[in-house]
Amino acid sequence: MATETVELCKLKLAELKQECLAHGLETKGIKQDLIHRLQAYLEEHTEEESWGDTNRRHPLSSCKKTKTHTLKL
């Protein structure tokens, strides 16, 4: 299975809710709430991973003054 990297701000609300469900996160709220929730999750779990992984992609640039993270699907 291929790994795809996307910006959270480009996902639709339904897609963000699916990602929240997949990571055991709350799915209530507006799009920005879900983005912040996923960002916090990704920051926490990125810190736990080894930086020696050469296949890792760094977070993409911001979207409308919102810090974004990549999400591997």
* Mean pLDDT, range 26-37, rounded to an integer: 95
* Mean pLDDT, range 41-49, rounded to an integer: 79
Q: What angle do CA 73, 15, 20 make, to 5 degrees?
A: 75
The predicted structure's pLDDT at residue 45: 84
What is the average pLDDT value for the chain, to the nearest integer? Answer: 75
| Gyration radius from the chain CA atoms | 12
Residue 43 and residue 32 in contact, taking contact as beta carbons nearer than 8 Å? no
- Residue 52 pLDDT > 80: no
Collapse the DSSP code of 72 into the 3-class scheme (helix H, G, I; strand E, B; otherwise coil) and give the result.
strand
* Mean pLDDT, range 18-30, rounded to an integer: 95
- Residue 5 pLDDT > 90: no
Residue 60 and residue 70 in contact, taking contact as beta carbons nearer than 8 Å? yes
The predicted structure's pLDDT at residue 2: 44
